[in-house]
Amino acid sequence: MPDLSHLWQRFVLALTLIFGLALGVGATVFAYSNTTQVSLGWSIFHVSSVPLWTVALVPIALILTVGTLFHWFNSLHHFTEHMRHRRRVHDLEVELATVRKHLDATLQMPGQSAASAPEAEPEPEPEPEPEPVPAPAAEATEPASSNGEARPEIVAAAETETAVPSES
Burial class (CB in 10 A: 0-12, 13-18, 19+), 15: exposed
H or E stretch covering 16: helix 5-33
- pLDDT value, residue 126: 66
Q: Which residues touch 139 (CB under 8 Å, ≥6 apart)? A: 157
Residue 120 has pLDDT above 90, yes or no: no
pLDDT at 95: 96
Side chain identity at 55, as an amino acid letter?
V
Residue 151 — very low, low, confident or very high, per pLDDT cuts 50/70/90?
low
* DSSP-assigned states of every residue in 61-123: HHHHHHHHHHHHHHHHHHHHHHHHHHHHHHHHHHHHHHHHHHHHHHHT--SGGGTTSPPPPPP
How much is the pLDDT for 93? 96
Q: What is the pTM of this model?
A: 0.42
